Amino acid sequence: MFLKIMAFVWLFCLPFTAYSRTKSTVKVKGMVCAFCAQGVKKGLSKRPEVSRVSVDLDQMLVHIEYKDGKTLPEQTVKTIIESSGFAYVGLNHEKL
């Protein structure tokens, strides 16, 4: 009986403690249209660590959500942004 209770507690708590997801917000200069945003999204979405990319053109921000326990080094993000033709301003990581 004790083992059943422990197994239940472990299975219930696992989704809340086993994984940590991270999100990055990147400030970018030069994105002015949906075509610009699509190039940035395509470049970042190719990375296996990335689960989702969204772009806020009004604020010139790129939001990157990572797969569980994954992130990209800042230099990698900068390289992808710059190779897409835009100026990289900075990056902020936060836990979800």
Domain boundaries, the chain: 20-95
pTM to 2 decimals?
Answer: 0.76
CATH of 20-95, one of 3.10.450.50, 3.30.70.100, 3.40.50.2300, 3.30.390.30: 3.30.70.100
With tokens 């033709």, the residue in question is 85
Around Cβ 26, how many Cβ atoms within 10 Å? 24
> How far is residue 66's CA from residue 24's CA, in Å, rounded to a whole number?
8
With tokens 């190719």, the residue in question is 46
User: pLDDT tens per residue, the chain (96 residues)?
Assistant: 644 554 444 445 444 444 568 899 999 999 999 998 999 999 999 999 999 999 999 999 999 999 999 999 999 999 999 999 999 999 987 875
**Which residues in 60-84 are b (16+ Cβ under 10 Å) and which e?**
bbbebebeeeebbeeeebbebbeeb
The partner residues of 52 in beta bridges, in order of sequence, read: 65
